[in-house]
């Protein structure tokens, strides 16, 4: 179990440090970063599958067109989530991005109720109500809804629902999603090359090509660590660890990138944090009562 906690914590730590990586590529458009992320993830994932001789799932897909259709939708949601996150980081909205992943667990609970018809307990409803009040407070004081945060939370939440009910495991599923997105990413990169707009080739900064190539393993490694850790630790423990990534992102946005974080905004975040505390405490209490069976 200890190794599982370490692996899961490392995955969230890597995700939390993502703003530093994408900020180093702020001279590259989000579209090109996303395309390279998909391109270089493909050989990395195929290498892992080859080392593990994990190919038996591929022939089965030919018999399951509905599975492929579901993964096309999840691939589109994942790419949309990635694009919005990259755009947010490179446009000085790391704090907004962190809020999206803070409210994501609450969104997951609500989506489970709406899409999977899961029953919600009283305290879970209370947590959803408090989180909604926090979002409302932020919207009221900024004059608009926190669209970046909500879009990140909803796209990743729906993606999570699709993957929860998916036929394939984490590694195979991510590989299939990458295979689906690969032709579009390759076509876009070729278009940039033909129009002399490919930063991978034309950048005067020697680090740029290496940073773009690194997008592949940087994408896949935390997902693999997370999948391995999630297998051996209780969901309640995983639920607490998931706040590590947005917490690091928030600190990076405020202290390192000096993004504005007013007292009014702090109140909104505090309301949402109280919802998360209630949600996590309820989950831990229920797990303790049932001896770790839920």
The average confidence (pLDDT) of the chain is 88
Residue tagged 């009040």 (tokens): 133
232 domain residue, yes or no: yes
Query: How many structural domains are present in the chain?
Result: 1
294 domain residue, yes or no: no
287 backbone dihedrals φ, ψ, rounded to 5°: -65, -40
Using CA atoms, how far residue 274 sits from 24, 117, 126, 263, in Å, is 33, 25, 11, 16
81 domain residue, yes or no: yes
Tell me: pLDDT of 1 over 70. no
CA distance 115 to 123: 20
pLDDT digits (tens, 9 = 90+) for 195-254: 998 998 888 788 899 999 999 889 888 877 877 776 677 655 666 778 889 999 999 999
Q: What is the CB-side half-sphere exposure of residue 121 using CA atoms within 13 A?
A: 10
137 domain residue, yes or no: yes
The DSSP call for residue 254 is I
Per-residue tokens: 186:
């390759």
Q: For residue 168, which of 62, 57, 79, 72 has the smallest C-alpha distance?
A: 57
pLDDT band, residue 165 (cuts 50/70/90): confident
Tell me: pLDDT of 178 over 60. yes
Domain span at residue 187 reads: 2-289
219 domain residue, yes or no: yes
Other beta carbons less than 10 A from residue 29's beta carbon: 16
143 domain residue, yes or no: yes
Output the pTM of the full model. 0.89
CA distance 217 to 240: 25
Q: What is the CB-side half-sphere exposure of residue 95 using CA atoms within 13 A?
A: 18
Q: Mean pLDDT over residues 173-190, rounded? A: 94
Residue 264 neighbours by CB under 8 Å, 6+ apart:
141
103 domain residue, yes or no: yes
pLDDT digits (tens, 9 = 90+) for 71-118: 999 999 999 999 999 999 999 999 999 999 898 888 888 888 888 787
CA distance 158 to 232: 24
What percentage of the chain reaches a pLDDT higher than 70? Answer: 95
Question: What is residue 56's predicted lDDT score, i.e. its pLDDT?
Answer: 87
pLDDT band, residue 193 (cuts 50/70/90): very high
41 domain residue, yes or no: yes
pLDDT digits (tens, 9 = 90+) for 11-49: 889 999 999 999 999 999 999 999 999 999 999 999 999
Question: What is residue 36's predicted lDDT score, i.e. its pLDDT?
Answer: 94
Do residues 8 and 230 make contact, with C-beta atoms less than 8 angstroms apart? yes
């Amino acid at each position: 179990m200890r190794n599982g906690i370490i692996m899961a914590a490392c995955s969230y730590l890597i995700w939390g440090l993502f703003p530093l990586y994408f900020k180093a590529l702020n001279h590259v458009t989000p579209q090109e970063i996303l395309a390279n992320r998909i391109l270089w993830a493909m050989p990395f994932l195929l290498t892992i599958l080859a080392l593990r001789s994990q190919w038996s799932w591929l022939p089965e897909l030919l018999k399951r067109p509905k599975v492929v259709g579901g993964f096309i939708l999840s691939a589109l949601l994942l790419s949309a989530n990635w694009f919005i996150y990259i755009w947010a980081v490179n446009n000085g909205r790391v704090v907004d991005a962190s809020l999206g992943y803070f409210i994501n667990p609450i969104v997951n609970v609500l989506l489970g109720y709406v899409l999977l018809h899961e029953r919600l307990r009283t305290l879970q409803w209370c947590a959803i109500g408090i989180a909604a009040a926090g979002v409302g407070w932020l919207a009221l004081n900024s004059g608009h809804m926190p669209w970046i945060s909500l879009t990140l939370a909803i796209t990743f939440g729906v993606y999570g629902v699709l993957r929860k009910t998916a036929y394939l495991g984490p590694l195979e599923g991510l590989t299939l999603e990458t295979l689906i997105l690969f032709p579009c990413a390759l076509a876009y990169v070729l278009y940039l090359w033909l129009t002399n707009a490919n930063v991978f080739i034309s950048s005067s900064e020697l680090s740029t090509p290496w940073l773009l190539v690194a997008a592949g393993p940087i994408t896949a490694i935390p997902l693999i660590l997370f999948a391995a850790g999630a297998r051996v630790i209780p969901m309640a423990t995983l639920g607490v660890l998931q706040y590590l990534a947005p917490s690091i992102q928030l600190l990076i946005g405020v202290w390192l990138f000096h993004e504005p974080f007013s007292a009014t905004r702090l109140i909104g975040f505090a309301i949402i944090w109280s919802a998360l505390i209630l949600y996590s405490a309820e989950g831990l209490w229920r797990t303790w009562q049932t001896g770790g069976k839920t």
